[in-house]
Amino acid sequence: MRSFIWLGTLGALYLFFIFTKPVKAPAPIRVEKTIEVVSASALPEGVVVKPLEAVVETSPVDIEKGKAIYLSTCIKCHNKDPNVKGPIGPQMVDAPLELMQIKVTTGRYPDVLPEGFVPKRKTKQMTKFPNLAKDVPSIHAYVQSLKK
């Protein structure tokens, strides 16, 4: 008798999970900020305005982390030297960071390739590694450090 109750309970739970709809996540809260732009002539005397510059720094820690990931994961298809094509994958030194980010996480090239970039292999496919998305800048820094 207990086994029938047990099976009935499991069956009810099974049906509950199959036929219930997943709850949607709430919409993200959007915060808008306004910035007042002032012309240089309206600034107080003596105030110097410098143009904003994009600064990208790679520390030795990032390069070492990228090296470890590259040597443990990437050389299965790419060459140990990123300047040389591997048995399956092409050389990697010319790949822009954005392209590498998309290629590693999705396994495919983006719909629109960066200007001037030409894929080096006809297959254009790759094993995707979405778990490495946050580490792609380190891998890219390591590959660029070996550029000849």
> Please, what are the domains in the chain?
60-112+120-145 (1.10.760.10)
**Rounded CA separation 81/88 (Å):** 14
**Rounded CA separation 104/74 (Å):** 10
- Looking at residue 68, its pLDDT comes to 92
Q: Given 3-state DSSP classes, what are the helix, strand and coil percentages for the chain, each rounded to the nearest 5?
A: 45, 0, 55
Res. 61 pLDDT band, cuts 50 70 90: low
**Chain mean pLDDT for the chain:** 80
> Stretch 15-23: mean pLDDT, rounded?
69
Helix (H) or strand (E) holding 105: helix 97-106
**Rounded CA separation 110/103 (Å):** 7
Find the range with the poorest average confidence among 43-47, 109-113, 126-130. 43-47
- Looking at residue 25, its pLDDT comes to 62
- pLDDT above 90 for 59: no
**Rounded CA separation 87/89 (Å):** 6
